[in-house]
Structure 1
């Protein structure tokens, strides 16, 4: 899902400039007491009580959310004299709801964000606090977990506004397959090296499996995502101008004018007309048919053990096939947490975030729920669902790839015990983007960015799902983007990238 997060490009930006909140007495008291009590950890007895509001995206709000929140509160009260109010928002309404929350200055202490979910735009609007001083004071576990290049990759204007999750920072484009159908038809997925290799398999499913979608697409995650993925382009955070991965130049180009985009859009149209894809691929917002075992294959950005991870999450066994041999490093802003400017106690918010990078008990409680109720431990590293419970019926689950130091989280029995070691190798051996560590500042072009994202919202999903003729609609989208100001955005990105490159080489 990660990638949801991942591949969401139809971003609505804010129309209202966020008004900053002045430092409160609570902030000052917390900073004073925390600094007096300890160098690394706050002494809860010397901190005033505080409730942290945590805002993040979810597939569906779990029914046992309150029970997990109560357990977290008991633990956090002892550690940093804080409680939490968990505010999960379903992915389908995330953009609209969080934009409204920010625009109306609703109090939030921790908020999920990402390069593809308006990170740079929200920084430009003043929605997020700079974190450098907070990390220096209360982020010892953050800096221990994250390599400097990954933390630096979130900087805008020289400042850190988001903390990246310590997970894989690379990906390989590929396909997730329903294992039962692969086995039933004895498909050799090892021979799938380009999308056209899938077509005989998709035809077989279409001909023999009524009720099964041969290739499942959802909003932001479709077959033609290969056109805008890391194997084709470094999207530089928001897809409004990127680097062509086939070139060694640091030259920002319009992704949507490229031959690569048009070619994949044409293939998507072919599959749509052949009825290989679900007709609602442009609008469906969840894993739907794939998660229900009613689809054969879908696009995914892959990593070591992604198939095992999704099998546990969905309760349907899937297997993966990489379509690009070399993993590509993504922008490190793929998924992050920020402290909104409306927080009344940023110090405590950072203490909480720091615990997610170093406190295994809290992290796994937040990710998997209450031991004995939502999971049982098999050993110190492995958990499973309790008897009579599965991925579909469990009362609580979160997304471990979204939070803190994922390499401290438990594994399920079907996952590789060496998964975290492989993640580290995966990151270290990946083909690095020449712009790794660059994050662009859209502050001077907020109107152009907002207008361009509105154009993408209007056209992109329909084109990428194959729902419309790309030879008609891609030129329309390109023209609309130019009217919205994408050429100005590309020029400014190029300017900032050149300046960053000159500094980075010193």
Structure 2
């Protein structure tokens, strides 16, 4: 599941800088073992309540193969991670591992260590070979790889997710919801009876979804291409009729009070397990087994989903969850060894994802990797599989049938690749323009995507400012590169 959309901020308050002053990667101490190299791993989220026990077990397993390595995970809250990560990257911090954001731009700036030799010929070769090739297509820049992907939902769909509490309470039928507009009568019915509940639970980082689009320079810029390849033109997202139609729907919702009034600036968290929301947007894929992943993340809530986008193996999915190593890290090999364990050692990964055997879960069939969770498997006692390691080596709950697993594997094998998969434009000749475009987009994007602003007049204002910022030059440059990329594929 996709959990966030962060916009990197170039400049921060001194306080934020001080917070990260001690981010330096690793040391020759930790957990009472002065002879071990501590590899620090920075990730968004909150520290697990069972963190110490989990890491004791994880490190014991890692040290069977790499006795001198001690892994330490450093958590930064979701609301702060984007900003603090930006500081780490721009300041050249020598962190060992960090959950990557804005991969293409940062990689082209030289922020990350080159992993290519480690992956193809070194300590992580087995891990490299276990990952769907589509990921490597989506991460390779001039024959080099600068991040390790999580082998999970290599294709996915954005979906509208519905709170079962209100579906049941008001006898709602979601079976005909295939777009934003289709959800209007459901939102209106719930809002009328539940005025304190967020109808569509969104905040400032929400991005409206069209049927099949990809962002060549990440979704920090309103520049898109058609995933199907039927249209090969590079577009301004907000000039597309489908986008404008969706924005008009959201604006109508906003005027009716179906969206949070402060959505354009809000960082409010609507927890999956709570009844503070009726509808939200999630990304689901084959490794989620329908709504199973959402049920697990919400402490058993039977959240219902309806896809609103087409499924593709895409650049976006290849980059949705990545781990990078700072170019200035002093322990690149050890960091790669940790990544290798996370992606090849089932005990390491499953302890992080499921928690402790005997406490959060138990085997029902050890040979086939089937488990049953306990009452102590709940939020705060596990980490998200989508961001930790190779999901193909995860144990599966005994409620997941062999048929579901077979369907998962066949759907991954048969999924179409986006026309843009493998296209990473060289942005070096228009960096200034991209920076200007980002500034304009940060001003208008949140008020458009959250339905706060009347879309058509607001888009006209934004487009005028984007033109001044250099949008035409950037679109033309990316178009030229994209045409060459598509021609080379033929």
> Does the CA-based 8 Å contact 1:9-1:453 persist in structure 2?
no
Residues 62-461 of structure 1 mapped to structure 2, 5 A cutoff: 62-80=48-66, 81-113=68-100, 117-135=101-119, 136-221=121-206, 225-227=208-210, 231-239=211-219, 240=221, 241-245=223-227, 248-285=230-267, 287-288=269-270, 290-304=272-286, 305-315=289-299, 316-324=301-309, 326-331=310-315, 332-380=318-366, 381-387=369-375, 389-392=376-379, 395-412=380-397, 415=400, 418-461=403-446
Shift of residue 416 of structure 1?
Answer: 5.1
Taking structure 2 as the reference length, what is the TM-score of the superposition?
0.86
> Does the CA-based 8 Å contact 1:400-1:406 persist in structure 2?
yes
Shift of residue 313 of structure 1?
Answer: 0.7
Shift of residue 152 of structure 1?
Answer: 2.4
Matched, 1:54 2:34: no
2:76 aligned counterpart, secondary structure = strand
Q: CA 1:265–1:429 in structure 2 vs 1: closer, same or farther (change >3 Å)?
A: same
Q: CA 1:461–1:296 in structure 2 vs 1: closer, same or farther (change >3 Å)?
A: same
1:242 aligned counterpart, secondary structure = strand
Shift of residue 75 of structure 1?
Answer: 2.2
Q: CA 1:180–1:257 in structure 2 vs 1: closer, same or farther (change >3 Å)?
A: same
| CA distances 1:28-86 after superposition (whole Å, capped 9, x unpaired) | xxxxxxxxxxxxxxxxxxxx83211111122x332333332333222222321201121
1:489 aligned counterpart, secondary structure = helix
Q: CA 1:462–1:157 in structure 2 vs 1: closer, same or farther (change >3 Å)?
A: same
Matched, 1:3 2:2: yes
1:243 aligned counterpart, secondary structure = strand
> Does the CA-based 8 Å contact 2:272-2:297 persist in structure 1?
no
1:453 aligned counterpart, secondary structure = helix
Cα distance in 2, alignment partners of residues 107 and 79 from structure 1: 25
Shift of residue 366 of structure 1?
Answer: 2.3
Taking structure 1 as the reference length, what is the TM-score of the superposition?
0.83
Shift of residue 9 of structure 1?
Answer: 6.1
> Does the CA-based 8 Å contact 1:128-1:339 persist in structure 2?
yes
| CA distances 1:257-309 after superposition (whole Å, capped 9, x unpaired) | 22222221111110011111222333344641544122221122232424221
> Does the CA-based 8 Å contact 1:129-1:340 persist in structure 2?
yes
Q: CA 1:201–1:249 in structure 2 vs 1: closer, same or farther (change >3 Å)?
A: closer
> Does the CA-based 8 Å contact 1:290-1:297 persist in structure 2?
no
1:87 aligned counterpart, secondary structure = strand
1:138 aligned counterpart, secondary structure = coil
* Greater mean deviation of Cα atoms: 488-497 or 415-424: 415-424
* Greater mean deviation of Cα atoms: 194-203 or 65-74: 65-74
Cα distance in 2, alignment partners of residues 3 and 146 from structure 1: 19
**What is the aligned length?**
458
* 5+ residue gaps, structure 1: 16-25, 27-47
1:205 aligned counterpart, secondary structure = helix
Shift of residue 237 of structure 1?
Answer: 4.4
Cα distance in 1, alignment partners of residues 78 and 47 from structure 2: 10
Q: CA 1:476–1:425 in structure 2 vs 1: closer, same or farther (change >3 Å)?
A: farther
| CA distances 1:301-357 after superposition (whole Å, capped 9, x unpaired) | 232424221111122320112235x52332122221122112112111111111222
Tell me what 1:32 maps to: none
Q: CA 1:249–1:262 in structure 2 vs 1: closer, same or farther (change >3 Å)?
A: closer
Q: CA 1:189–1:236 in structure 2 vs 1: closer, same or farther (change >3 Å)?
A: same
Tell me what 2:15 maps to: none
